Amino acid sequence: MTNKQKFTEGFKFGKTQATYSNSKLAGPKVPQGSQAARGSYSSSLGPTFAGNEPSSESPLLVLLGLGRYFKNYKVRLGIVLGLLFTEIIVYSAIPFSFKFLIDEALIGKNETVLYITGALLIGGTILITAAGTVRDYLYNWVSARAIRDMREELFIHLQRVNLDFYANTRLGDVLSRFSTDLTALENAVLALIPWGISPLLEAIFGTALLFALDWKLGAIATLIWPITFLGPVFFSTRSTAASYERKIEEAKVLTAVEESISAQNLIRVYDLDGSFWEKFKGNCEKLFHVSLRLGLTNSYLERSASGGILLLQAVLLISGAWFAFHGMVSVGALAAFLPPFLNLSYSLLYVSQYFPTMNQASGSARRILEILRTPTFESEGGERPFAPSELQNSIKLEDLHFRYKGRTKNLNGVNLEIKKGTYTVILGQSGSGKSTILKFILGMMEPSQGKVTLDGIAMEKIRLDALHSMIGIVFQDTFLFHTSILENIRMGRPDATPEEAIEAAKLAEIHEFISALPDGYETIAGDKGSKLSGGEKQRIALARALVRNPQILLLDEATSALDPITEARILKTLQKLREGRTIVSVTHRLTGLHAADQVVVLKNGTLEPYPSPENDSLSAAAIGL
Ligand SMILES: Nc1ncnc2c1ncn2[C@@H]1O[C@H](COP(=O)(O)OP(=O)(O)OP(=O)(O)O)[C@@H](O)[C@H]1O
């Protein structure tokens, strides 16, 4: 399935794995990748997230919210569980052998029992090892796939959320969801079987076994359950809250790093490195405090469990010895009892140590779900049954009203008809809402009142991929990718041949410049085009729009960074390209208006005809330019 199919046909989930040895030789300690934990929405993230408030949902329930990523791998998971049960049953049965060995074979002098028990022990060990190896492979596979699916869906979802989301979200915060949050989840998933399910099942079987061996000792041994879980349950809320705060602080640190890298020119020229350093130090200090709190809470959580378990071990050893001393249990039964009891203790210790990992993963799951639940533009628009391939008559903006959140009205009854094959110029002061109008034509926003139609079809009924396939656009903020200039142009139409890309560059008046570069079209544009001037970037962006040979060409201040001569040449090129093409240019410059079929002015949120193309200076004054 191509990415495009995933976008349009919806995403199908896959699955993951975990790769921890079940060996307890190293002592119980859950792998803790990132300490990051629970959902963290800073208030500055704005209202586009599905949930900004601390959740009262239990950590376990939040984690279950991501269970759907495992659904596609049910068969493999079933095999994993089957193998796990087999291992645990065999593992739990091993202590019985001690009873047989001591009571029947040694004390009862029965050599046959000795051989049978020995054979069963060896067979059981081989079975456990083989089943464990297969289980490890399958579970690692399933876990890795589930995390991969989650990562992919997160990425795809981010391509589809409302643009408003990006206006209200810090880059560092989004990136941290891909890094620390997914890592925390991965750690928890990987550790789930060896540190969660497996020891829990072992503990359940172990408890049953203890009862079978001796109900009196078994009854005392069951005390271990509440003793183990009391502390973790008590500290879980605090651990989750501290993890949540830590996540916020981590995202702030990441944002500070990202900003200081992106704004290096500004920081150096304005001598801002001192203040940036102070701010960063402050962020690190807060992160230190919250990390310490989280670490301490998790350590109390673990210690409360391990302390209780050790105490109970001592009590049980003494009472077991006392029972044996008074002949209330056999020595064989006591000898058979102690290993499973110690196993039970360690199993529960493992489970208790899984709590911090689970709490952290739960927070991360919440942060990931918050993004996945952020409405996408398409999902808000509902059904989009129309996929036109050609503009037949016109695009109409009818009584369009719109206001960005927290702003006064930006558009206040905009009416405009853009007829097929015409050249429309929208003039207006800076901030008047010209780019906003283009976003409506691109189907990227919906008006609060009024409508935008394409050949009479409401924009929200038109599939965005179909709409965008008709459009070429030069955005006001030119963005170039860190790849060759040729590739940057071909982004407009990935199947364009190099010759077609070069032809587009010629039309955009940038071919000569590119050809003169040592590496020509293979020159790397640099991060966000940092190796090129503003005007050069703008012309490459124009070439990228032209290589699509679009029916509709949208230009947002597309010549603002050009010198008058180059701008005049490009305007001339646009004249040549007008045939059969619909062009909309928004600008606050008055050059090239005479060539346009209609010129309108955006003022006070409405469009008015341009007063007098014949006398630009008078007109400019009239419209406040
Ligand atoms: N995501 C946003 N959230 C809130 N306000 C916004 C957002 N985007 C734009 N605005 C505001 O809406 C107004 C119109 O913005 P727009 O970019 O459409 O103006 P413009 O006419 O294209 O300006 P310019 O000529 O300076 O590019 C501005 O006042 C701007 O501050």
Better pLDDT: 598 or 410: 598
Kindly indicate the confidence band of residue 485, based on its pLDDT and cuts at 50, 70 and 90. Answer: very high
Res 419 pLDDT > 90: yes
Sequence spans of domains, the chain: 3-7+18-378, 394-623
Kindly indicate the confidence band of residue 44, based on its pLDDT and cuts at 50, 70 and 90. Answer: very low
594-616 residue pLDDT tens = 778 899 999 888 998 887 656 55
pLDDT at 437 (0 to 100): 93
394-623: which CATH topology?
A: Rossmann fold (3.40.50)
Question: Comparing C-alpha atoms, which of 205, 297, 317 is closest to residue 246?
Answer: 297
| Closest atom of ligand 1 relative to the 587 alpha carbon | 25
Lowest average pLDDT, out of 8-12, 200-204, 467-471, 585-589, goes to 8-12
Lowest average pLDDT, out of 28-42, 332-346, 577-591, 607-621, goes to 28-42
Highest mean pLDDT among 21-30, 62-71, 389-398: 389-398
Q: What is the percent of the chain with per-residue pLDDT over 70, rounded to a whole number?
A: 86
pLDDT at 7 (0 to 100): 33
pLDDT at 621 (0 to 100): 59
Kindly indicate the confidence band of residue 378, based on its pLDDT and cuts at 50, 70 and 90. Answer: low
Quote helix, strand, coil % in the chain, to nearest 5: 60, 10, 30
pLDDT at 619 (0 to 100): 57
473 Cα: distance to centroid of ligand 1 (angstroms): 18
278 Cα: distance to centroid of ligand 1 (angstroms): 32
Res 394 pLDDT > 90: yes
Tell me the average pLDDT across 134-156.
Answer: 92
Residue 605 CB less than 6 A away from ligand 1: no
Residue 96 CB less than 6 A away from ligand 1: no
CA atoms within 13 A on the CB side of 42: 19
pLDDT at 396 (0 to 100): 95
C-alpha to C-alpha distance for 17 and 564, rounded to whole angstroms = 60
Res 30 pLDDT > 60: no
For residue 496, what are the CA distances in angstroms to 293, 479, 483, 539, 597?
Answer: 56, 19, 16, 18, 31
- The answer to whether 16 and 145 have CB atoms below 8 angstroms apart is yes
User: Three-class SS string for 456-522?
Assistant: CEEHHHECHHHHHHCEEEECCCCCCCCCEHHHHHHCCCCCCCHHHHHHHHHHCCCHHHHHHCCCHHH
Q: Whose CA is nearest to atom 18 of ligand 1?
A: 433
Residue 475 CB less than 6 A away from ligand 1: no
Mutate which of 408, 434, 437 to test ligand 1's pocket (most atoms within 8 Å of Cβ)?
434
Written as one letter, the residue type at 388 is P
Kindly indicate the confidence band of residue 503, based on its pLDDT and cuts at 50, 70 and 90. Answer: very high
Res 45 pLDDT > 70: no
Q: Whose CA is nearest to atom 30 of ligand 1?
A: 431
C-alpha to C-alpha distance for 424 and 584, rounded to whole angstroms = 5
For the record, the structure tokens of 479 come out as 């963005």
Kindly indicate the confidence band of residue 166, based on its pLDDT and cuts at 50, 70 and 90. Answer: confident
pLDDT at 451 (0 to 100): 92
Stretch (H or E) spanning 607: strand 606-609
Three-state SS for 178? Answer: helix
Tell me the average pLDDT across 85-101.
Answer: 77
Tell me the average pLDDT across 353-362.
Answer: 85
430 Cα: distance to centroid of ligand 1 (angstroms): 8
Written as one letter, the residue type at 262 is S
Kindly indicate the confidence band of residue 135, based on its pLDDT and cuts at 50, 70 and 90. Answer: very high
pLDDT at 151 (0 to 100): 92
Residue 476 CB less than 6 A away from ligand 1: yes
- The answer to whether 173 and 42 have CB atoms below 8 angstroms apart is yes
In whole angstroms, what separates CA 172 from the centre of its chain?
Answer: 12
Tell me the average pLDDT across 373-390.
Answer: 75
557 Cα: distance to centroid of ligand 1 (angstroms): 13
Three-state SS for 236? Answer: helix
Highest mean pLDDT among 342-351, 394-403, 586-595: 394-403
205-236 residue pLDDT tens = 888 877 887 787 778 778 888 888 888 888 88
For the record, the structure tokens of 112 come out as 């046959």
Highest mean pLDDT among 95-99, 258-262, 376-380, 455-459: 455-459
Residue 167 CB less than 6 A away from ligand 1: yes
pLDDT at 26 (0 to 100): 33
Please give the ipTM for the structure prediction. Answer: 0.95
Res 16 pLDDT > 90: no
pLDDT at 359 (0 to 100): 83
542 Cα: distance to centroid of ligand 1 (angstroms): 22
Residue 609 CB less than 6 A away from ligand 1: no
Strand partners, 601: 427, 608
pLDDT at 234 (0 to 100): 83
pLDDT at 77 (0 to 100): 92
CATH class of 3-7+18-378: mainly alpha
pLDDT at 328 (0 to 100): 81
C-alpha to C-alpha distance for 381 and 256, rounded to whole angstroms = 35
Residue 47 CB less than 6 A away from ligand 1: no
pLDDT at 55 (0 to 100): 54
| Closest atom of ligand 1 relative to the 586 alpha carbon | 22
345-355 residue pLDDT tens = 888 888 888 88
Residue 432 CB less than 6 A away from ligand 1: yes
| Closest atom of ligand 1 relative to the 432 alpha carbon | 21
What is the average pLDDT value for the chain, to the nearest integer? 80
C-alpha to C-alpha distance for 207 and 197, rounded to whole angstroms = 15
